[in-house]
Chain A
Amino acid sequence: MNVIVYANTNQNKVHKSAFEATSYASQFASKHGGKVTALATAEAEGLEELGKYGADKVLQINDSKLADFKPELIAKALKAAAEAEQAEVVVLSHDLSGKSVAPILAALTKGGLVSGAVDLPNTDDGFVVKKAVFSGKAFAHTKINAEMKIISVMPNSIEKKENSKESNIESFDAALGDSRLNVVEQKMESTDLPLTEADKVVSAGRGLKGPENWEIIEELAKELGAATACSRPVSDMDWRPHHEHVGQTGVAIRPNLYIAIGISGAIQHLAGVNQSKVIVVINTDPEAPFFKSADYGIVGDAFDVVPKLIEAAKEMNLASN
């Protein structure tokens, strides 16, 4: 089965999650036979690297209208590419781009979409994909009955495996028509390490008492090479920017390490972080519910424990790793 991958970009650079999607497609194609073709916009940079993760070919859409994010046109281009390559499977990342493009593509192709896949398809009995449901509290094995199979892969859940191919970059013409969305302004975050991509996250809650106390959180994050996050009340009170809010109503993340400081561990908070590989909780209250979901914990005062952790991290020279 041939596979098409959408090589999504962030400020024109091919995104880490696109390499994960490519590796997913390539692992599937190696098992079932078939070619992997990645599709990218005209402005995309860093396409050479797609070959490293198993793209046999890269198609670059010959249309400058896609300089802004136009989900409808990208869905049309993916459909055209799938027809051109006789592909029955399309793989995207389940990030903000995939969440917009994949459903449009599914409707255009009458395809079956599994969003937020966390494992490769199982084809023992049909075509079944495992995905996270109930905000990470369970998984659903979802069977795709339609001919066109569309999978959006949960970021940070599939290991990128190198599988180098000599992939050519070709220009791709498709009649996409015009978008009815007129992008008038972009406000990009300046942070070097977007939360959803961070491999380590240091997060703090109402236990920190006020925004003026976040210096120790930022410093610990810096020493560990981690991004910073917060609980919902903290962003509601504007102690921290809204994009740091994790949980059911904020962003869902699944880093390798999540350190929760002064956060009680309400179920709605856990919903956004419980897929982290290792959870560390620092809280004055030994009865805080978060300890039940934690791998490691320290019962103690953040204002005492965190500075000591920073010192220890400096001594171990973790930042340079």
Chain B
Amino acid sequence: MKILVCISKVPDTTAKIAFTENNTKFDTNGVQFIVNPYDEWYALVRGLEIKEAQGGSVTVLNVGGAENDPTIRKALAIGADDAVRINFEAKDALATATQIAEFAKAENYDMVLFGKETIDYNGSQVGGMVAALLDQPFISNASKLEMDGNKGKVERDIQGGKEVIEVEAPFVLSAAKGMAEARIPNMRGIMAARTKPLKVVEASASADATEVVSYELPPAKGDVKLVDADNPAELLELLRNEAKII
């Protein structure tokens, strides 16, 4: 199996969210960056498990600038064979997807794996777009993937439940919880990651279908109103008469 896993760089889950330049830029001051959890824990690890069982290769791909290289090395430390970075400042999902599809087209992967969404932009966009651009089937929010030769059996989350699907490679899939157990990189992996190939590919031209013009933080919460533990009925009164929600 020749597997491509698309990884995004995102702020650590505990990062403080703030904006600069008149609320037009995310403030990266003091922010740690990680591989998007869905990409790393589920898509990458499941890709590696399939490779370990059936042979083949796992390449990780990121669309972004040179500042992403340390994050890409983290994915190599988990066990990917090699990495590709398409040198392009990714602003819009369709532009990003266009870059990924252009690259993947020439390489004939058996599967292209994504996370279900990035934890910064929360798009749930790039995977489905790549599938359509490659004209391949798309399975979103997959929580299980078993391969038997080039036949895949996938479980995906749908509204109100789950579905089991059969699909033949090549396909595109976005991964959700359940696909695999997260792996912690060991010392050997981290050492090996330093010398694994990270190829930089120049981007083709593509226009942005969307752009963020500004950010906004939600209004700060006021202080919590405490109710005495001996009189919880008062809580229900407040919810009824003050908050008017019950």
21 A-B pairs with C-beta separation under 8 A: A94-B124, A96-B157, A96-B158, A99-B140, A100-B138, A102-B125, A103-B129, A113-B210, A114-B210, A133-B121, A134-B17, A145-B209, A179-B137, A183-B164, A187-B161, A187-B162, A194-B160, A248-B119, A274-B218, A281-B224, A297-B226
B135-166 CB contact bits vs A (8 Å, 1 = yes)?
Answer: 01111110000000000000001111111111
**A115 at the binding interface (Cβ < 8 Å):** yes
Contacts of B238 in A (CB 8 A): 296
Whether A100 pairs with B129 at a CB distance below 8 angstroms is no
Neighbour of B17 across the interface among A137, A294, A312, CB < 8 A: A137
Whether B232 pairs with A132 at a CB distance below 8 angstroms is no
Taking A249-B37, A277-B245, A305-B229 as contacts, is the C-beta distance between A113 and B93 under 8 angstroms? yes
Taking A96-B159, A110-B209 as contacts, is the C-beta distance between A135 and B236 under 8 angstroms? no
A246-267 CB contact bits vs B (8 Å, 1 = yes)?
Answer: 0011100000110000000001
**Residue in B closest to A293 when the chains form the complex, CB atoms:** B221
Q: How far is the CA of A37 from the CA of B81 in the complex (A)?
A: 49
Whether B163 pairs with A15 at a CB distance below 8 angstroms is no
A164-191 CB contact bits vs B (8 Å, 1 = yes)?
Answer: 0000000000000001111111111100
Whether B240 pairs with A316 at a CB distance below 8 angstroms is yes
Q: Which of B37, B123, B136 has the most CB of A within 10 A?
A: B123
**A268 at the binding interface (Cβ < 8 Å):** yes
Contacts of A183 in B (CB 8 A): 163-165
Whether B212 pairs with A141 at a CB distance below 8 angstroms is yes
Whether B224 pairs with A106 at a CB distance below 8 angstroms is no
**Residue in A closest to B160 when the chains form the complex, CB atoms:** A10
Q: How far is the CA of A256 from the CA of B138 in the complex (A)?
A: 34
**Residue in B closest to A257 when the chains form the complex, CB atoms:** B245
**B227 at the binding interface (Cβ < 8 Å):** yes
Whether B246 pairs with A318 at a CB distance below 8 angstroms is yes
**Residue in A closest to B229 when the chains form the complex, CB atoms:** A300
**B126 at the binding interface (Cβ < 8 Å):** yes
**Residue in A closest to B41 when the chains form the complex, CB atoms:** A249
Taking A104-B132, A115-B124, A180-B168 as contacts, is the C-beta distance between A138 and B17 under 8 angstroms? yes
Give the contacts of B16-31 with A (CB-CB under 8 A): 17, 19
Q: Which of B130, B158, B171, B208 has the most CB of A within 10 A?
A: B158
Give the contacts of B200-246 with A (CB-CB under 8 A): 207-218, 221-222, 224-229, 232-233, 235-236, 238-240, 243, 245-246
> How far apart are B206's CB and chain A's nearest CB, in angstroms?
10
Q: How far is the CA of A10 from the CA of B13 in the complex (A)?
A: 32
**Residue in B closest to A188 when the chains form the complex, CB atoms:** B161
**B94 at the binding interface (Cβ < 8 Å):** yes
Whether A104 pairs with B235 at a CB distance below 8 angstroms is no
Whether A144 pairs with B246 at a CB distance below 8 angstroms is no
**A157 at the binding interface (Cβ < 8 Å):** no
Whether B163 pairs with A106 at a CB distance below 8 angstroms is no
Taking A113-B94, A141-B213, A184-B166 as contacts, is the C-beta distance between A298 and B235 under 8 angstroms? yes
The tally of residues in B whose CB lies under 8 Å from a CB in A reads: 79
Contacts of A128 in B (CB 8 A): 213
Q: How far is the CA of A313 from the CA of B234 in the complex (A)?
A: 11
Contacts of A71 in B (CB 8 A): 128, 138, 140
Taking A128-B213, A141-B216 as contacts, is the C-beta distance between A185 and B221 under 8 angstroms? no
**Residue in A closest to B136 when the chains form the complex, CB atoms:** A180
Contacts of A179 in B (CB 8 A): 137
Contacts of A62 in B (CB 8 A): none
> How far apart are A150's CB and chain B's nearest CB, in angstroms?
9
Whether A133 pairs with B132 at a CB distance below 8 angstroms is no
Contacts of B126 in A (CB 8 A): 103
A100-B140, A184-B165, A309-B232 given; name 9 further pairs at CB < 8 Å: A99-B128, A102-B128, A103-B126, A180-B136, A184-B166, A186-B163, A245-B177, A298-B229, A300-B232
**A308 at the binding interface (Cβ < 8 Å):** yes
**B185 at the binding interface (Cβ < 8 Å):** no
**Residue in B closest to A95 when the chains form the complex, CB atoms:** B159
Whether A103 pairs with B239 at a CB distance below 8 angstroms is no
Q: How far is the CA of A47 from the CA of B114 in the complex (A)?
A: 35
> How far apart are B149's CB and chain A's nearest CB, in angstroms?
16
Q: How far is the CA of A147 from the CA of B118 in the complex (A)?
A: 25
Taking A69-B158, A295-B243, A296-B238 as contacts, is the C-beta distance between A267 and B13 under 8 angstroms? yes
Give the contacts of A274-321 with B (CB-CB under 8 A): 274, 277-278, 280-281, 291-301, 304-305, 308-309, 312-313, 315-316, 318, 321
